[in-house]
Structure 1
Amino acid sequence: MAGKLTNKYGTINIDENVIETIAGLAATESYGLVGMSSRNATDGLVELLKKEHVKKGVKVYADGDRIIVDLFVVVQFGTKISVVADNIIDKVKYNIESITGLKVEKVNINVQGVRVQK
Protein backbone atom coordinates (compact mmCIF):
# COMPACT_ATOMS: atom_id res chain seq x y z
CA MET A 1 0.00 0.00 0.00
CA ALA A 2 1.33 3.44 -0.89
CA GLY A 3 1.79 6.30 1.54
CA LYS A 4 -1.10 8.72 1.35
CA LEU A 5 -1.39 12.41 2.24
CA THR A 6 -4.68 14.25 2.06
CA ASN A 7 -5.09 18.01 2.13
CA LYS A 8 -7.72 20.52 1.08
CA TYR A 9 -6.59 20.26 -2.57
CA GLY A 10 -6.77 16.48 -2.88
CA THR A 11 -4.81 13.31 -2.19
CA ILE A 12 -1.13 12.57 -2.79
CA ASN A 13 -0.14 8.91 -3.17
CA ILE A 14 3.57 8.16 -2.68
CA ASP A 15 4.64 4.74 -3.92
CA GLU A 16 6.59 2.50 -1.53
CA ASN A 17 9.46 2.31 -4.07
CA VAL A 18 10.00 6.06 -3.66
CA ILE A 19 10.12 5.77 0.12
CA GLU A 20 12.47 2.77 -0.12
CA THR A 21 14.86 4.75 -2.32
CA ILE A 22 14.82 7.75 0.05
CA ALA A 23 15.46 5.48 3.05
CA GLY A 24 18.26 3.57 1.31
CA LEU A 25 20.08 6.69 0.15
CA ALA A 26 19.74 8.32 3.59
CA ALA A 27 21.11 5.21 5.30
CA THR A 28 24.16 4.99 3.03
CA GLU A 29 25.15 8.52 4.09
CA SER A 30 25.50 7.41 7.72
CA TYR A 31 28.88 6.94 9.41
CA GLY A 32 29.87 3.35 10.16
CA LEU A 33 27.73 1.82 7.45
CA VAL A 34 29.58 -0.22 4.83
CA GLY A 35 26.46 -0.69 2.73
CA MET A 36 23.03 -2.18 2.34
CA SER A 37 22.51 -5.93 2.09
CA SER A 38 19.86 -8.01 0.41
CA ARG A 39 16.62 -8.54 2.35
CA ASN A 40 16.80 -12.29 1.90
CA ALA A 41 20.19 -13.23 3.32
CA THR A 42 19.76 -16.99 3.57
CA ASP A 43 22.40 -19.55 4.51
CA GLY A 44 24.54 -16.83 6.11
CA LEU A 45 25.52 -15.36 2.74
CA VAL A 46 25.27 -11.59 2.74
CA GLU A 47 25.42 -9.71 -0.54
CA LEU A 48 26.60 -6.12 -0.33
CA LEU A 49 24.49 -4.03 -2.73
CA LYS A 50 25.84 -1.34 -5.03
CA LYS A 51 24.62 2.23 -4.51
CA GLU A 52 22.11 2.06 -7.38
CA HIS A 53 20.40 -0.98 -5.78
CA VAL A 54 20.07 0.31 -2.20
CA LYS A 55 16.30 0.01 -2.15
CA LYS A 56 16.67 -3.78 -2.29
CA GLY A 57 17.96 -3.55 1.29
CA VAL A 58 14.85 -1.68 2.43
CA LYS A 59 11.29 -2.82 3.08
CA VAL A 60 8.56 -0.24 3.69
CA TYR A 61 5.15 -0.87 5.21
CA ALA A 62 2.78 2.05 4.61
CA ASP A 63 -0.61 2.53 6.20
CA GLY A 64 -2.13 5.84 5.18
CA ASP A 65 0.27 8.51 6.43
CA ARG A 66 2.14 6.13 8.83
CA ILE A 67 5.35 4.45 7.68
CA ILE A 68 7.38 1.55 9.11
CA VAL A 69 10.83 0.95 7.58
CA ASP A 70 12.98 -2.20 7.80
CA LEU A 71 16.64 -1.73 6.81
CA PHE A 72 19.11 -4.55 6.15
CA VAL A 73 22.67 -3.29 6.60
CA VAL A 74 26.34 -4.23 6.88
CA VAL A 75 28.30 -2.20 9.43
CA GLN A 76 31.98 -1.39 9.64
CA PHE A 77 34.11 -3.47 12.00
CA GLY A 78 35.26 -1.50 15.02
CA THR A 79 32.22 0.76 15.24
CA LYS A 80 29.64 0.53 17.99
CA ILE A 81 26.59 -1.03 16.35
CA SER A 82 24.08 0.74 18.61
CA VAL A 83 25.54 4.17 17.76
CA VAL A 84 25.58 3.39 14.02
CA ALA A 85 21.98 2.14 14.22
CA ASP A 86 20.83 5.26 16.10
CA ASN A 87 22.47 7.50 13.48
CA ILE A 88 20.83 5.56 10.64
CA ILE A 89 17.42 5.70 12.33
CA ASP A 90 17.65 9.47 12.88
CA LYS A 91 18.83 10.18 9.33
CA VAL A 92 16.26 7.93 7.63
CA LYS A 93 13.38 9.22 9.73
CA TYR A 94 14.35 12.86 9.15
CA ASN A 95 14.78 12.45 5.37
CA ILE A 96 11.51 10.57 4.81
CA GLU A 97 9.50 12.97 6.96
CA SER A 98 11.01 16.12 5.45
CA ILE A 99 10.84 14.98 1.81
CA THR A 100 7.43 13.26 1.80
CA GLY A 101 5.56 14.78 4.75
CA LEU A 102 4.62 11.27 5.93
CA LYS A 103 5.08 10.28 9.59
CA VAL A 104 7.66 7.55 10.22
CA GLU A 105 6.36 5.43 13.06
CA LYS A 106 9.30 3.03 13.33
CA VAL A 107 12.67 2.25 11.73
CA ASN A 108 13.97 -1.28 12.30
CA ILE A 109 17.68 -2.00 11.70
CA ASN A 110 18.69 -5.56 10.79
CA VAL A 111 22.47 -5.94 10.90
CA GLN A 112 23.26 -8.66 8.36
CA GLY A 113 27.03 -8.55 8.74
CA VAL A 114 30.20 -6.78 9.80
CA ARG A 115 32.88 -5.96 7.30
CA VAL A 116 36.45 -4.70 7.60
CA GLN A 117 36.73 -1.49 5.58
CA LYS A 118 39.95 -1.30 3.52
Structure 2
Amino acid sequence: MKSTSMNTHMGSISIDNEVIAQYAGAVANECFGIVGMANVNMAEGFVSLLKKDNIKRGINVSVAPNRKLTLDFHVIIAYGVNISSVTENLIDNVKYKVEEFTGLEIEKINIFVEGVRVID
Protein backbone atom coordinates (compact mmCIF):
# COMPACT_ATOMS: atom_id res chain seq x y z
CA MET A 1 0.00 0.00 0.00
CA LYS A 2 1.75 3.11 -1.23
CA SER A 3 0.68 6.56 -0.29
CA THR A 4 1.65 10.17 -0.73
CA SER A 5 2.07 12.32 2.32
CA MET A 6 2.44 16.03 2.91
CA ASN A 7 2.87 18.16 5.99
CA THR A 8 0.72 21.16 6.81
CA HIS A 9 0.67 23.58 9.71
CA MET A 10 -2.03 21.42 11.33
CA GLY A 11 -0.33 18.02 10.86
CA SER A 12 0.39 15.51 8.12
CA ILE A 13 -1.89 14.24 5.36
CA SER A 14 -1.47 10.84 3.72
CA ILE A 15 -3.33 9.96 0.49
CA ASP A 16 -3.29 6.34 -0.64
CA ASN A 17 -2.38 5.92 -4.32
CA GLU A 18 -5.47 3.74 -4.80
CA VAL A 19 -7.65 6.69 -3.76
CA ILE A 20 -5.96 8.84 -6.40
CA ALA A 21 -6.44 6.07 -8.99
CA GLN A 22 -10.12 5.65 -8.08
CA TYR A 23 -10.76 9.39 -8.41
CA ALA A 24 -8.78 9.69 -11.67
CA GLY A 25 -10.73 6.73 -13.08
CA ALA A 26 -14.06 8.34 -12.20
CA VAL A 27 -12.96 11.56 -13.91
CA ALA A 28 -11.78 9.62 -16.98
CA ASN A 29 -15.09 7.76 -17.28
CA GLU A 30 -16.89 11.13 -17.49
CA CYS A 31 -14.88 12.10 -20.59
CA PHE A 32 -16.52 11.83 -24.01
CA GLY A 33 -15.22 8.91 -26.05
CA ILE A 34 -13.91 6.85 -23.14
CA VAL A 35 -15.76 3.53 -22.84
CA GLY A 36 -13.83 2.52 -19.72
CA MET A 37 -10.59 1.33 -18.19
CA ALA A 38 -8.88 -1.76 -19.54
CA ASN A 39 -7.45 -4.71 -17.65
CA VAL A 40 -4.40 -5.97 -19.52
CA ASN A 41 -3.26 -9.57 -19.02
CA MET A 42 0.29 -9.56 -20.39
CA ALA A 43 0.77 -13.33 -20.08
CA GLU A 44 -2.17 -14.11 -22.35
CA GLY A 45 -2.22 -10.87 -24.38
CA PHE A 46 -5.84 -10.39 -23.33
CA VAL A 47 -7.58 -7.04 -22.75
CA SER A 48 -10.91 -6.72 -20.98
CA LEU A 49 -13.17 -3.84 -19.98
CA LEU A 50 -13.21 -3.25 -16.23
CA LYS A 51 -16.45 -2.70 -14.36
CA LYS A 52 -17.02 0.64 -12.61
CA ASP A 53 -16.02 -0.71 -9.19
CA ASN A 54 -12.63 -1.95 -10.48
CA ILE A 55 -11.54 1.05 -12.57
CA LYS A 56 -8.50 1.68 -10.38
CA ARG A 57 -6.93 -1.51 -11.75
CA GLY A 58 -6.64 0.19 -15.16
CA ILE A 59 -4.65 3.09 -13.70
CA ASN A 60 -1.15 3.12 -12.27
CA VAL A 61 -0.17 5.97 -9.94
CA SER A 62 3.46 6.66 -9.13
CA VAL A 63 4.98 9.46 -7.10
CA ALA A 64 8.40 10.90 -7.90
CA PRO A 65 10.77 11.96 -5.09
CA ASN A 66 9.79 15.57 -5.84
CA ARG A 67 6.16 14.60 -4.89
CA LYS A 68 4.86 14.96 -8.47
CA LEU A 69 2.42 12.37 -9.78
CA THR A 70 2.66 10.24 -12.90
CA LEU A 71 -0.57 8.55 -14.03
CA ASP A 72 -0.73 5.68 -16.54
CA PHE A 73 -4.19 5.03 -18.02
CA HIS A 74 -5.11 1.85 -19.92
CA VAL A 75 -8.32 2.79 -21.72
CA ILE A 76 -10.82 1.50 -24.23
CA ILE A 77 -12.03 4.17 -26.66
CA ALA A 78 -15.40 4.40 -28.41
CA TYR A 79 -15.42 3.44 -32.09
CA GLY A 80 -15.55 6.36 -34.52
CA VAL A 81 -14.13 9.11 -32.30
CA ASN A 82 -10.92 11.05 -32.90
CA ILE A 83 -8.41 9.39 -30.55
CA SER A 84 -6.20 12.47 -30.36
CA SER A 85 -9.11 14.72 -29.32
CA VAL A 86 -10.40 12.23 -26.75
CA THR A 87 -6.97 11.77 -25.16
CA GLU A 88 -6.30 15.53 -25.05
CA ASN A 89 -9.67 16.02 -23.34
CA LEU A 90 -8.86 13.20 -20.92
CA ILE A 91 -5.47 14.71 -20.04
CA ASP A 92 -6.90 18.20 -19.50
CA ASN A 93 -9.79 17.02 -17.31
CA VAL A 94 -7.76 14.58 -15.23
CA LYS A 95 -4.89 17.03 -14.71
CA TYR A 96 -7.18 19.83 -13.54
CA LYS A 97 -9.47 17.74 -11.31
CA VAL A 98 -6.83 15.49 -9.71
CA GLU A 99 -4.55 18.43 -8.93
CA GLU A 100 -7.50 20.27 -7.39
CA PHE A 101 -8.58 17.15 -5.43
CA THR A 102 -5.16 16.18 -4.04
CA GLY A 103 -3.21 19.43 -3.96
CA LEU A 104 -0.37 17.58 -5.73
CA GLU A 105 1.07 18.47 -9.12
CA ILE A 106 0.84 16.01 -12.01
CA GLU A 107 4.10 15.70 -13.88
CA LYS A 108 2.97 13.30 -16.60
CA ILE A 109 -0.11 11.45 -17.84
CA ASN A 110 0.48 8.46 -20.11
CA ILE A 111 -2.45 7.00 -22.02
CA PHE A 112 -2.37 3.52 -23.50
CA VAL A 113 -5.28 2.84 -25.85
CA GLU A 114 -5.84 -0.89 -25.40
CA GLY A 115 -8.90 -1.28 -27.57
CA VAL A 116 -11.84 0.17 -29.44
CA ARG A 117 -15.43 -0.74 -28.74
CA VAL A 118 -18.75 0.07 -30.41
CA ILE A 119 -21.12 1.58 -27.88
CA ASP A 120 -24.87 1.07 -28.11
The TM-score normalised by the length of structure 1 is 0.91
CA RMSD, 1 decimal: 1.5
Runs of 5+ consecutive residues of structure 1 not aligned to the other structure: none
The TM-score normalised by the length of structure 2 is 0.90
Q: 2:94 aligns with which of 92, 95, 112?
A: 92
What's the CA shift for 1:42? Answer: 4.8
What's the CA shift for 1:115? Answer: 0.9
Which has more strand, going by share of residues?
A: 2
Deviations 1:6-56 (A, max 9, x none): 222222111101101011111000000111101445544210011111101
Q: Using the alignment, how far apart are the partners of 1:29 and 1:87 within structure 2?
A: 10
Q: Using the alignment, how far apart are the partners of 1:39 and 1:15 within structure 2?
A: 23
Structure 1 residue ranges (4+ consecutive) displaced by more than 4 angstroms after TM superposition: none
Instruction: Count matched residues.
Output: 118
Which region of structure 1 is more displaced relative to structure 2, 14-23 or 90-99?
90-99
Q: Using the alignment, how far apart are the partners of 2:60 and 2:45 within structure 1?
A: 20
Which residue identity is paired with 2:3?
A
Identical-residue share of aligned pairs (%): 42
